[in-house]
Amino acid sequence: MSGNSIGVLFKVTTWGESHGPATGAVVEGCPPGIDLEEEDIQKALNRRRPGRIASSSPRKEEDAVKILSGTFQGKTTGTPISLIIHNTNVDSSAYEDIKDIFRPGHGDFTYFKKYGIRDYRGGGRASGRETAARVAAGVVAGKIISREGMEVIAYTKSLGGIAIKLENMEAQEITRENIGESRLMCPDADAAEKMEAKLEEARRIGDSLGGIVEIIVRGCPAGLGDPVFDKMDADLAKALMSIGTVKGVEIGAGFTVAEMAGSEANDPITTDGFLSNHAGGILAGITTGEEIVIRIACKPIPSISKVQKSIDVQGMPVELSIKGRHDVSVIPRIIPVCEAMANIVLADHLLRQKAIV
């Protein structure tokens, strides 16, 4: 495997560079008979599109998806679903000035070391552009798991050091509604306002911000996942860590378990289910039936206009300032990508479980 696929039975293979003619995904293993139209996918792609927030990328990504195979009369047929998104509005000229320079924080240097080739037109396969294909594929996965009552919700938990506070929120819980009302996909309106100010400040000084996204899976039955290498949490960790921006993944109580005693960390089991959910819905790699709770750490976008030190292809030192108006944070654009990756892992394990029982 050349690393372009994820999943065993529900499998997604993506292809395409940021500045090539198109990007796409081949989605295998989707059962026949599921309603699937281009507009279902388009809606998800629109959520990922730049321009949601003021300080967003100037590149107008149309992201118009086409279904090239795998459906007939609006339903899946069981055969591979080929999805294509043409790269309109591709302008590589912005990269001409830095074509020989390795941008810090990007994959330019490592890509060159791996392949011995410098495709200077953006990030190639490591570009955020590739995630459009994931989002498209994730819609198909989402249809499979929603048939079983599962739902994945992701939202901005913190941005630039500002975290939401459940107790400040009217609803005191995370819902699709209170996330959806927010431009930043942040359910706490107060926090969202402060985040916006932080973003504006960062944009002003030519810098960028990181943050934390939480992904919640509701309605997942007990019994999905494997007890050894393909643990549900291991597969979710891989899927989410495979998003370029992610530097950390934690499940349930996550890193805080390191300071807990067993009597605190263990979730007592009762006839009504678990009394707590430090496990984050997964025990021994298999789902418990409780909410699956995952958090990821997103690094600040590496493209900043502040001057940075680097080297060029010849190994000579350079200083660079990345021009153009880039996104200031991958949040909230990364959120549909997180949902897509969780959808894909869940759909795969759901199908795998079918072959067991």
**Site for a copy of itself, residues 91 to 120, rule: CB under 8 A:** 102, 104-107, 109-111, 113-117, 119
Residue 214 structure tokens:
């939480």
User: Which amino acid is located at 55 in the chain?
Assistant: S
Q: Which residue from 36, 98, 301, 346 is in contact with a copy of itself, where contact means CB under 8 A?
A: 301
Closer to a copy of itself at the Cβ: 176 or 273? 273
Interaction between residue 182 and a copy of itself (CB under 8 A): no
Give the shortest CB-209-to-a copy of itself separation in angstroms: 6
Q: List the one residue from 90, 94, 189, 265 that touches a copy of itself (CB under 8 A).
A: 265
Residue 354 binding a copy of itself, by CB under 8 A? yes
Backbone angles phi, psi at 221, to 5 degrees: -70, 155
Q: From CA 78, how far away is CA 268, in angstroms rounded?
A: 42
* Contacting residue, 219, 234, 277, 313, with a copy of itself by CB under 8 A: 234
Restricted to residues 203-232, the positions that interact with a copy of itself (CB under 8 A) are 207-212, 221-231
Helix (H, G, I), strand (E, B) or coil at 317: strand
Selected from 242, 321, 323, 324, the binder of a copy of itself by CB under 8 A is 242
Q: Which stretch binds a copy of itself (CB under 8 A): 22-30, 47-55, 166-174, 184-192?
A: 22-30
Paired tokens of 356: 């067991």
Among 302, 337, 338, 346, binds a copy of itself (CB under 8 A): 302
Per CB under 8 A, 11 contacts a copy of itself: yes
Q: Minimal distance in Å, beta carbon 177 to a copy of itself?
A: 25
- Per rule CB under 8 A, is residue 178 in the interface with a copy of itself? no
Task: Give me the phi and psi of 200, to 5 degrees please.
Answer: -60, -40
Residues 29-88 contacting a copy of itself, CB under 8 A: 29, 31-33, 66, 68-70, 72, 75, 77-82, 84
Half-sphere exposure of 63 (CA within 13 A, CB side): 24
Long-range contacts: 192-199, Cβ < 8 Å, 24+? 192/156, 194/162, 195/156, 195/159, 195/160, 195/162, 196/53, 198/159, 198/160, 198/161, 198/162, 199/53, 199/54, 199/55, 199/159, 199/160, 199/328, 199/329
